[in-house]
Amino acid sequence: MFVLVNLKTYPCDPLEIATAVRDVDETTDARLAVAPQAIHIERVAETGVETWAQHVDPIEHGSNTGHTLAESVADAGAVGTLVNHSERRLKLADIDGAVRAAERADLETVVCANNPEQIGAGAALGPDAVAVEPPELIGTGTPVSQADPGVVENAVVAAENVDDDVSVLCGAGISTGEDVTAADDLGTEGVLLASGVAKADNPRAALDDLVEPL
């Protein structure tokens, strides 16, 4: 299972969490990675943890102001990027452009979507993975795998129907090893989570718990 920890703009210490993710990764067969804010990517990547961006823009080098360029994110040490997170939504053409920009920079891609219908559309753009995250469950601590298992199962089917090379992750409310196991049982290849680690009093203990059954 892939466990991707999105730090959003939570007031956490990105280096403390990066170090914990790196250390826990060494204790498990699961693959762990962290997605800090763009400004923290370089320092986080220097810890040796697998580092992702939270977003890249559908642009190239040139006359763009205030954008995040895929090549710069890769130069800073990221190996992948989220695209179209529910808190950073893009138009369809821009999701396509961001996936193409990430490919150009050799970044792995996870296209996020709210529901199975959008998962099918996201998978059609040829990312490495898609992630289904019902927005109403994000940050609630109620795991999507428990509150709405059907949405996860339908997302797996929707992606398979379009392109079975595209992996499916799920997210929203995931915070325990039990939630990760439930996501695995529903046919996903990983989880995308944030508050369960970024807001934890002890992020290392939260990460240990997440991978404990894997």
Ligand X SMILES: O=C(CO)COP(=O)(O)O
Under 8 Å between Cβ of 98 and 57: yes
Among 48, 77, 126, 139, binds ligand X (CB under 6 A): 139
Size of the site for ligand X (CB under 6 A): 14
Q: Which residues 85-124 are close enough to bind ligand X by CB under 6 A?
A: 85
Check residue 188 for interaction with ligand X (CB under 6 A): no
Among 138, 152, 162, 182, binds ligand X (CB under 6 A): 138
Check residue 129 for interaction with ligand X (CB under 6 A): no
Among 18, 30, 174, 207, binds ligand X (CB under 6 A): 174
19-27, 68-76, 98-106, 170-178 -> range binding ligand X (CB under 6 A)? 170-178
Beta strand pairing status for 31-35 and 52-53?
Answer: unpaired
Among 80, 97, 127, 171, binds ligand X (CB under 6 A): 171
> CB of 133: closest distance to ligand X in angstroms?
5
Beta strand pairing status for 80-83 and 108-113?
Answer: parallel
Check residue 173 for interaction with ligand X (CB under 6 A): yes
Residue whose token pair is 């954008």: 67
Q: What angle do CA 36, 143, 121 make, to 5 degrees?
A: 70
Under 8 Å between Cβ of 12 and 198: yes
Q: Please provide the DSSP assignment of 90-146 as one string.
A: --HHHHHHHHHHHHHTT-EEEEEESSHHHHHHHHTT--SEEEE--GGGTTSS--HHH
Q: 60 or 108, CB closer to ligand X?
A: 108
Check residue 36 for interaction with ligand X (CB under 6 A): no
- Structure tokens that stand for 51 in this block: 């580092």
> CB of 176: closest distance to ligand X in angstroms?
11
